[in-house]
């Protein structure tokens, strides 16, 4: 399904990609305003009068008992490792700086506020060219808005799926999801130094090669995958440690709730991060991790096409166009598309946005609208899960201030409502691009409201340590007598 380039005529005629990036940036703009609002709300509240049966504790030392520092260290380390191992960034390139220059030239005369936004945007684009800073930016986004990373990972996974289907239909029966991810990451380049910055550009190049030489040759998938594995960092030990630590925390929280013990706000927040990290990691399971450098597409990466008949998952296009040759056929070098050819197949996946430089909008799909709707649905699901995980076990929790409880409840509901509304707004922006600029104020409001609720939850998590139920610090009885059993 083809999609026309963005041509909205609404509010400032914003690019769809710029709307997406500014909406994410506004989440961080809401941080100082949220802190001020919480301070004012707490000022008008009153100190909570706890009942005699509800024993409250502040700082609890360790290590004889379950101490405050033990609890904080466990949860913070799990959040950090979950965020760290779940983030799989693309290969950095200079496209972000070029995009920032174009946006700055387009909107620099829109006023002082716009100039300030463009300055921050330009600085972020510069950071995106540095691999370490690139990953740190995504980690920060994952902490403040894990739903957005779930959304991104879902779109990338759907794009990789379509990439596999396309390459197998073009006579590459062994093309894998890892290779499709690598192409989408911008992992390939030509001998002349031309960087194929997206999967779509790689597909266009591959189509030109097929039109020049037919289907007699195929890429050496085994060699390419071995090269990718050599360039990527697995961090298997860190992943195993994180899985064990996160699983143990989930079991502890489940047992505590089953026994009627209290769990802290920080533990509940950590469980929400674990759930989002699991969804993200499953989407990126086959995506190369921290790849260093690109693979140059040289002649020696091609080999004569195998005589093996294609399997059932390949399309009829491959069966009609591919020509099997003998394994012993002499190897003939293939020119890497020296002459420019604009002829491409109509079956090529289509980008979400034809001018996009960044993931996920530069990814390509056979049906972009359907993939976008699926990702928006999973984004809503992630938001609902996060809101429910925070709300259900701690709906009646009390803080040192009487306004704390209704703030917690309100923020949990906002997390659910805002992600659903954000998904609807995102679908409208993509499906009806002419109203994308007009809906920008609504998108801005949703982003700020989302940032307010998320920062408010973080602040309440910190405030909760001034007065936690006594049972939070009691250890679980892991003896067999604590579980139902037959005598």
354-379 pLDDT per residue, tens:
766 677 778 889 998 899 899 999 99
Q: How many domains does the chain have?
A: 2
Is residue 1 in a domain?
no
Average pLDDT over residues 369-398: 92
407 and 423 share one domain = yes
240 and 151 share one domain = yes
Q: Please check the confidence at residue 348 and state whether its pLDDT lies above 90.
A: no
Q: Please check the confidence at residue 193 and state whether its pLDDT lies above 80.
A: no
Residue where one domain finishes, among candidates 104, 128, 152: 128
pLDDT at 28: 61
pLDDT at 479: 66
The percentage of the chain sitting over the pLDDT mark of 70, rounded to a whole number, equals: 72
What's this model's pTM, rounded to 2 decimal places?
0.80
230 and 104 share one domain = no
Is residue 486 in a domain?
no
271 and 363 share one domain = yes
Encode pLDDT of 436-486 as tens digits: 566 667 777 787 888 888 889 999 999 999 889 888 888 887 764 445 544
pLDDT at 112: 66
Is residue 64 in a domain?
no
pLDDT at 271: 95
Higher pLDDT, 343 or 252: 252
Is residue 290 in a domain?
yes
Encode pLDDT of 101-127 as tens digits: 666 666 666 666 666 666 666 666 666
Q: Which of 19-33, 207-221, 230-244, 387-401 is most confident?
A: 387-401
pLDDT at 122: 67
Q: Report which of 411, 407, 398 is spatially closest to residue 42, judged by C-alpha positions.
A: 407
Yes or no: say if 209 and 336 are a contact pair by the CB < 8 Å rule. yes
CA 454 → CA 7, 389, 450, 458, distances in Å? Answer: 33, 14, 6, 6
Encode pLDDT of 295-315 as tens digits: 888 877 777 765 444 444 334
Is residue 3 in a domain?
no
Instruction: Give the DSSP H or E segment for 218.
Output: strand 217-219
116 and 230 share one domain = no
Domain span holding position 45: 11-51+73-93+129-473
Taking phi over 0 as left and psi of -120 to 50 as alpha, with beta for the rest, 290 belongs to left
**Half-sphere exposure (Cβ direction) of 432: Cα atoms closer than 13 Å:** 8
CA 301 → CA 15, 191, 334, 396, 424, distances in Å? Answer: 38, 12, 10, 62, 45
Q: Please check the confidence at residue 266 and state whether its pLDDT lies above 80.
A: yes
pLDDT at 170: 84
Higher pLDDT, 117 or 403: 403
| CB-CB neighbours of 65 under 10 Å | 11
82 and 151 share one domain = yes
98 and 159 share one domain = no
235 and 119 share one domain = no
Is residue 287 in a domain?
yes
CA 19 → CA 14, 181, 284, 443, 469, distances in Å? Answer: 7, 25, 25, 8, 44
Q: Please check the confidence at residue 211 and state whether its pLDDT lies above 90.
A: no
Is residue 482 in a domain?
no
Residue where one domain finishes, among candidates 110, 128, 146: 128
Is residue 60 in a domain?
no
Residue where one domain finishes, among candidates 128, 143, 175: 128
Q: What is the mean pLDDT of the chain?
A: 76
pLDDT at 434: 62
Average pLDDT over residues 180-206: 87
Higher pLDDT, 253 or 55: 253
117 and 266 share one domain = no
104 and 181 share one domain = no
Yes or no: say if 84 and 273 are a contact pair by the CB < 8 Å rule. no
109 and 181 share one domain = no
pLDDT at 411: 92
Lowest mean pLDDT among 3-17, 164-178, 451-465: 3-17
338 and 263 share one domain = yes
pLDDT band of 155, cuts 50, 70, 90:
very high
Taking phi over 0 as left and psi of -120 to 50 as alpha, with beta for the rest, 193 belongs to left
**Sign (positive or negative) of CA dihedral 305, 308, 312, 318:** positive
Angstrom distance (rounded) from CA 221 to CA 228: 10
């Amino acid at each position: 399904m083809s999609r026309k380039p963005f041509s909205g005529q609404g509010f400032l005629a914003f690019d769809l990609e710029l709307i997406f990036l500014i909406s994410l940036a506004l989440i961080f703009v809401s941080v100082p305003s949220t802190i001020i609002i919480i301070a004012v709300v707490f000022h008008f509240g009153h100190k909570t009068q706890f009942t005699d049966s509800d024993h409250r504790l502040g700082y609890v030392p360790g290590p004889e008992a379950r101490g405050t520092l033990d609890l904080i260290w466990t949860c913070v380390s799990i959040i950090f490792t979950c965020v760290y191992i779940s983030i799989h960034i693309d290969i950095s390139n200079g496209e972000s700086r070029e995009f920032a220059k174009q946006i700055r030239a387009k909107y620099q005369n829109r006023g002082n506020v716009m100039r300030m936004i463009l300055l921050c945007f330009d600085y972020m684009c510069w950071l995106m060219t540095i691999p370490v800073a690139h990953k740190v930016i995504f980690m920060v986004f994952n902490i403040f808005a894990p739903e957005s990373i779930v959304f991104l990972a879902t779109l990338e996974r759907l794009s990789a799926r379509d990439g596999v289907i396309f390459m197998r239909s073009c006579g590459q029966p062994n093309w894998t999801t890892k290779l499709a991810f690598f192409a989408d990451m911008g992992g390939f380049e030509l001998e002349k130094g031309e960087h194929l910055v997206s999967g779509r550009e790689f597909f266009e190049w591959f189509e030109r090669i097929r039109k020049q030489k037919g289907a007699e040759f195929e890429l050496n998938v085994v060699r390419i995958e071995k090269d990718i594995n050599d360039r990527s960092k697995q961090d298997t030990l860190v992943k195993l440690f994180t899985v064990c630590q996160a699983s143990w925390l989930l079991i502890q929280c489940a047992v505590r709730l089953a026994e009627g013990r209290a769990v802290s706000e920080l533990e509940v927040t950590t469980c929400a991060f674990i759930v989002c990290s699991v969804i993200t990691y499953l989407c990126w399971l086959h995506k190369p991790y921290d790849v260093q450098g690109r693979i140059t597409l040289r002649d020696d990466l091609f080999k004569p096409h195998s005589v093996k008949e294609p399997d059932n998952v390949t399309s009829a296009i491959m069966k009609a166009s591919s020509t099997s040759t003998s394994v012993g056929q002499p190897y003939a070098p293939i020119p890497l598309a020296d002459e420019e050819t604009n002829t491409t197949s109509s079956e090529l996946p289509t980008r979400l946005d034809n001018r996009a430089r960044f993931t996920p909008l530069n990814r390509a799909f056979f049906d972009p609208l359907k993939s976008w709707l699926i990702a928006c649905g999973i984004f809503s699901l992630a938001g609902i899960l996060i809101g429910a995980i925070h709300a259900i076990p701690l709906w009646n929790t009390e803080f040192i201030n009487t306004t704390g409880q209704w703030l917690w409840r309100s923020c949990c509901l906002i997390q659910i409502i805002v992600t659903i509304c954000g998904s609807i707004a995102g679908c409208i922006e993509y499906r009806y691009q002419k109203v994308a600029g007009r809906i920008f104020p609504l998108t801005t409001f949703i982003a700020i409201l989302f940032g307010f609720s998320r920062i408010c939850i973080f602040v309440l998590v910190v405030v909760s340590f001034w007065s936690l139920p006594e049972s939070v610090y009691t250890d679980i009885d892991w003896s067999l007598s604590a579980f139902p059993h037959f005598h």
